[in-house]
Amino acid sequence: MEIYTLVVNPLGENTLVAECGGGKCVVIDPGFYSGAEQDKVMNCISRHGLEPVAVLLTHTHADHIFGVAETQRRFGIPVYVGEADAPRPCGDDMTRWLGLRSVDTSFTLTPVSDGDLIPAGECSFRVIGTPGHTPGSVCYYEESLGVLFTGDTLFAGAIGRTDLPGGDYDAEIKSVMEKLMALDSGVEIHPGHGIPSTIGHERMCNPFLEPFNEKEEYDGND
């Protein structure tokens, strides 16, 4: 799977375009803010000859959804989101706090739940419910390829903040430990900010998970 990372908006969010075979792709968290950023994302899609078939939202904070309405308008595709976040598609509190424009919420959401499978091209993404960063935070796992899109639940060397409305630190830790750390060590993680990593590396080296780090499970090569 080829994954193209486009860093956008004032919060440095990762908008991800993931090839799914057969010329299809999914767009994860389209957060482009400016016209130039919109062009960057759309040019990436067209340059690689891709046809988007779905938008996968890991959660609905403003920096992850600025570009959703335009993406859905342009391609006429479904926008999947964790069911607990579906009634909360706008981060106006965040945008006012940061002095940014409001989010265009003229898009239609399709709620998903833990365990649901989303077909896309030759891929199939399993929804992993990971409440904590927001009540409806989810990750998307392509098991056959060992690829996990974690949004703001798990980063390289960190976990998502939980001090925003709806955040729950205990739920976040439970989600990461029970749902994500149980995956194979070689699974690649592609987060909503920052660089990729692997489950094995985070299991061993993530300082937020130090009480649970298990050296014998990580050989340093993941």
Structural domain containing residue 124: 3-217
In a domain, 222, yes or no: no
In a domain, 16, yes or no: yes
173-201, pLDDT tens digit by residue?
A: 999 999 999 999 999 999 999 999 999 99
In a domain, 210, yes or no: yes
> From CA 205, how far away is CA 208, in angstroms rounded?
9
In a domain, 104, yes or no: yes
Q: Is the dihedral angle over the CA atoms 160, 163, 169, 172 positive or is it negative? A: negative
pLDDT of residue 222: 47
In a domain, 54, yes or no: yes
Confidence bin at 148 (pLDDT 50/70/90): very high
Confidence bin at 217 (pLDDT 50/70/90): very low
97-145, pLDDT tens digit by residue?
A: 778 888 998 999 999 999 999 999 999 999 999 999 999 999 999 999 9
Confidence bin at 164 (pLDDT 50/70/90): confident
This prediction has a pTM of 0.92
In a domain, 98, yes or no: yes
6-37, pLDDT tens digit by residue?
A: 999 999 999 999 999 999 999 999 999 999 99
**Pair 52, 77: CB distance under 8 Å:** yes
In a domain, 70, yes or no: yes
DSSP 215: G
3 Cβ contact list (under 8 Å, min separation 6): 16, 17, 18, 19, 147, 190
Q: Which two tokens stand for residue 138?
A: 């989810």
pLDDT of residue 96: 77
pLDDT of residue 97: 74
In a domain, 207, yes or no: yes
CATH of the domain at 174: 3.60.15.10
| Helices and strands of the chain, counted as H and E runs | 5, 14
Q: What is the mean pLDDT of residues 197-220?
A: 75
**How many structural domains compose the chain?**
1
